[in-house]
Structure 1
Amino acid sequence: MSSSRVELLMTVARLGRPTMSELARTLSVTPRAITRLVDGLEADGHVVRERQADDGRITRVRLSDEALERIATMGDNHLDRITHLSDGISVEDLRTTLRVLHALNTAVHADLDLET
């Protein structure tokens, strides 16, 4: 599965039942690109499109049951890998690493906000 498809699945998982427009904005892609990605994921049975009940013009995307299971498995595998990789690293070193990563993340977001 392509990284863009995985990113879209994870975004849907995080947002719940986003609209197509919300997905495009969140992933910083065109509506056409979102439509193409959702088309492919829907054809493969990973997502389901649903019309919003009170406004049929709005389409929401949700994960299929299969995708929910797949994401849970991916999360478990990811956690297992992180646990394995961090064996032998002290808690203090892990905390320091997290602090540095958080500082870098904050700096990058601040820099991006300044550029827009």
Structure 2
Amino acid sequence: MTDGDRSLRADEAFRCLDCDRRWYYARARCPDCAGREFGTYALDEGVVVARTTVHTTPPDVRSPNALGFVRFDDGVQVVAQLSDDAVGVGDTVAFAGSTPLRDGDAPQPRLVAVTE
């Protein structure tokens, strides 16, 4: 994978093949070494570090919309939709597919609480 092509799977992150830096959102170059050769790998479980519920949304976007800032063990950080308002700070979450915010939009990643 080169030049920041985005994986089709929401549960994958990027890894620089030159320096092993890892990140989630597409970039044209590695933020550390400026390398242009990327691979992808599956993200496992992360922890919700912050969350919010958006009640005022653009037209046709569902409301309320729960969002979480999640940190994974390897340092990758993601902002994504939470499955429901019961997911809170400190909860362990995992990707559970994706869902569009409104008809016609590209699906966005969705995280659900991990039950043990």
TM-score, normalised via structure 2 length: 0.24
User: Hey, which of these two has a bigger chunk of strand by percent?
Assistant: 2
Structure possessing the higher radius of gyration over alpha carbons? 1
User: Hey, which of these two has a bigger chunk of helix by percent?
Assistant: 1
